[in-house]
Amino acid sequence: MLGLQSIGGESANMEVNRVFDAIVIGAGAAGLFCAAHAGQRGLRVLLLDHNERIAEKIRISGGGRANFTNRDLDLRAPQRHFVGDNPHFCRSALSRYTPQHFIGLVEKHGIAYHEKHKGQLFCDGPSQQIIDMLLAECAAGNVAHWQPCKVGEVQFEAGEGYRLQTSRGEVRAPRLVVATGGLSIPQIGASDFGYRVAAQFGLRVVAPRPALVPLTFAGEGWAPYADLAGLALPVQIETGAKKERMSFHEDLLFTHRGLSGPAVLQISSYWKPGSPLTLDFAPGVQVDAELRDAKARSKKRIANELAQWVPARLADAWVGQDAALARPINEAADKALAQLAERIGRWQITPSGTEGYKKAEVTAGGIDTRELSSQTMESKQPGLYFIGEVVDVTGWLGGYNFQWAWASAHACAEALAAQQ
């Protein structure tokens, strides 16, 4: 692993240099990538992070194996995999820096990887390899790195640029890049710094909310399902009506407080508080017709028949809620079977909330994209850029959030270099 000192250390820079071409705040995925690229394009870059350890989210991502991109990203319509008030905003950056570009970098550094599910690429080894790769790229760009370093007041003067008061003294640069991420997982360094800087300069922020997050259910309606914690099964899940309707076919996991698993994490980014979810527990199966058919030929209990298409625990939970269903299938009323099929194929339930930022993989909302250039990521405040998760662009589960971090960082670094 590369020592942090090796990327142009503080000691080398502190005495002689407090003026940079660009300062990047936040040494996560987007900040490291932007600093490295801008440094390699000849800019004197300072990268600051308030945390003891940088890039913690890369380290814990993908179960410790970093799902670093997704090769199924549709290059003709990359916005398809992203949520935000203006989903088209991300198009420009994502089509200029593609998953193939990042895969090329990973291969150049000799990092072995594999595809897991629906285009998701993971490291074969620990995700630290991606962090080391980014640090090596920063070293190649002579990026100065101060960390931990707290940033206090941010001032701007026309003609001079940005002046930052930090725990290591004052620094200046004509350009400032905010890459401080969202609010998820506060225990590893998340802060609202980016939103505060935006507010200071009069830039709008779309209200942040937890996304890619488990959903919770409260009250008596949930009681019959509380015992199903640990049960996982593939489902079709949907929310929203008409144009806003969104649907995923993924695995669902019952938890003690509600629902999780990829199906629920994906739909959580689209779910609006108070609105219901609709789940099909036997996607592709015509449960109504199957139950009618079984009634004509079988004397087995209904729960046993149902267990052909859904896990037995789930079948028991459903049948157990209605005494009329606790009997052999040939004795069941057609109406009761039709109602059961409806509940298996179109179960409607309204979450009471989410597990919040402690469990959310990302933060939806953020810097309003109407305040930013989709080409450069520069805001309406001259010389002030926002990249990565702090922006109102949220990817699907599966490597799309890192791809946004790389692509938005690349667009920004290119713009910084072009202005030199």
Q: Which of 26, 39, 141, 258 binds ligand FAD (CB under 6 A)?
A: 26
SS (H, E, C) 111-147: CCEEECCCCEEEECCCCHHHHHHHHHHHHHCCCEEEC
49 binds ligand FAD per the rule CB under 6 A: yes
Q: Which of 7, 144, 185, 337 binds ligand FAD (CB under 6 A)?
A: 185
DSSP-assigned letters across all residues of 53-91? SS-HHHHHGGGGT-EEEETT--TTSGGGGEESSSGGGGH
61 binds ligand FAD per the rule CB under 6 A: yes
30 binds ligand FAD per the rule CB under 6 A: yes
Q: How far is the CB of 318 from ligand FAD (least distance, A)?
A: 32
Closest to ligand FAD by CB, 29 vs 231, is 29
State which of positions 326-365 bind ligand FAD (CB under 6 A): 361-362
180 binds ligand FAD per the rule CB under 6 A: yes
Token reading at 174: 């004509």
Closest to ligand FAD by CB, 54 vs 267, is 54
191 binds ligand FAD per the rule CB under 6 A: yes
Q: How far is the CB of 101 from ligand FAD (least distance, A)?
A: 15
Closest to ligand FAD by CB, 154 vs 303, is 154
Closest to ligand FAD by CB, 162 vs 309, is 162
Contact 215, 264 (CB under 8 A): yes
b/e code 313-347 from CB counts within 10 Å (16+ = b): ebbbbbbeeeeebeeebeebeeeebeebbebbbeb
User: Which residues 6+ apart lie within 8 Å of 416 measured at CB?
Assistant: 21, 22, 38, 41, 43, 175, 177, 385
405 binds ligand FAD per the rule CB under 6 A: yes
Q: How far is the CB of 158 from ligand FAD (least distance, A)?
A: 25
**What CA–CA distance (Å, rounded) separates 392 from 367?**
5
Contact 336, 324 (CB under 8 A): yes
30 membership: H or E segment, kind and range: helix 29-40
Residues near ligand FAD (CB under 6 A): 25-31, 48-51, 54-55, 57, 60-62, 66-67, 151, 179-181, 184-185, 189, 191, 193, 361-362, 388-390, 399-402, 405
